[in-house]
């Protein structure tokens, strides 16, 4: 069953999901959950360790199981990992159970935000080495090209390149409240 008050934030790593998510949840009076953090708790180790020790396939299986539990909730904002929508079952679950919001950022801005991060497995070289700024931007562009068709299927899209965080949260809060009201009205009319 679709719960319009179950809000899923998607976007590339560095788009603002973990920053905007708790503020948005507070603004709406909802609970906030970071999917990656929930996976780390369930696995008893960091995302980096899961990728290194168990591989991406094991991580994606944990991601789906965790998402299935969250999908039954209401009045919650969930920050998704950047690649979760690549899994067809995860994507279908999100579309079926909640409202999907894409926090959109350009590869250039994402590179600025991520170039000094060391905790993003998909932004490391195959040998585990830290990528150069140019390699990071190229990797982001490649991954965005692959992921963005799914990101753009979101119910709402918000650019996070140039907006201040407070303005983004206010705009998103208004959009979500309108979306929930419209959806509730449509559900009432359908009965």
Q: Is 120 annotated as a binding residue?
A: yes
Q: Is 14 annotated as a binding residue?
A: yes
| pTM of the entire predicted model | 0.86
Q: Is 36 annotated as a binding residue?
A: yes
Domains within the chain, CATH numbers bracketed: 6-105+151-162 (3.40.50.300)
DSSP classification of residue 54: I
What is the chain's length? 191
| Residue 108 DSSP SS3 | helix
Complete edge-to-edge strand list for the sheet that includes strand 31-34:
31-34, 76-79, 6-10, 99-104, 156-159
Q: Is 16 annotated as a binding residue?
A: yes
Q: Measuring CA to CA, how many Å separate 58 from each of 25, 47, 64, 132?
A: 29, 11, 10, 28
pLDDT in tens, the chain (191 residues): 567 789 999 999 888 898 899 999 998 999 999 999 999 999 999 988 998 899 988 998 999 999 999 988 889 999 998 789 989 999 999 999 999 999 999 999 998 888 777 666 667 777 777 778 888 899 889 999 999 999 999 999 988 887 777 778 888 888 888 887 887 777 655 55
Q: Is 139 annotated as a binding residue?
A: no
Distance CA 50, CA 40 (A): 8
Q: Is 168 annotated as a binding residue?
A: no
Q: Is 15 annotated as a binding residue?
A: yes
| Residue 30 DSSP SS3 | coil
Write the burial class of residue 16 (CB in 10 Å: 0-12 exposed, 13-18 middle, 19+ buried). buried
Answer for the pair 180, 74: CB distance below 8 angstroms, yes or no. Answer: no
Distance CA 8, CA 45 (A): 24
Q: What is the pLDDT of residue 99?
A: 92
| Residue 89 DSSP SS3 | helix
The closest of 25, 35, 33, 34 to 5, measured between CA atoms, is 25
Q: Is 17 annotated as a binding residue?
A: yes
Q: What is the pLDDT of residue 39?
A: 94
Q: Is 18 annotated as a binding residue?
A: yes
Distance CA 7, CA 141 (A): 26
Q: What is the pLDDT of residue 121?
A: 64
Distance CA 119, CA 116 (A): 9
Q: Is 147 annotated as a binding residue?
A: yes
């Amino acid at each position: 069953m679709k719960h319009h008050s179950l809000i899923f934030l998607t976007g590339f790593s560095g788009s603002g999901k973990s920053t905007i998510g708790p503020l948005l949840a507070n603004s709406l009076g909802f609970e906030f959950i970071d999917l990656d953090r929930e996976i780390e708790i369930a696995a008893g180790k960091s995302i980096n360790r899961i990728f290194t020790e168990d591989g991406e396939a094991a991580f994606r299986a944990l991601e789906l199981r965790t998402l299935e539990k969250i999908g039954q909730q209401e009045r919650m904002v969930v920050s998704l990992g950047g690649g979760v929508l690549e899994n067809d079952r995860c994507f279908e679950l999100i579309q079926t159970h909640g409202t999907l919001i894409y926090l959109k950022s350009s590869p250039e801005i994402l590179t600025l935000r991520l170039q000094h991060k060391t905790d993003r497995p998909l932004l490391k070289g195959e040998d585990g080495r830290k990528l150069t700024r140019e390699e990071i931007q190229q990797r982001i562009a490649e991954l965005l090209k692959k992921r963005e068709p799914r990101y753009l299927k979101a119910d709402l899209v918000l650019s996070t390149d140039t907006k201040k965080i407070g303005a983004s949260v206010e705009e998103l809060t208004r959009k979500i409240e309108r979306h929930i009201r419209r959806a509730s009205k449509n559900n009432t009319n359908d009965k």
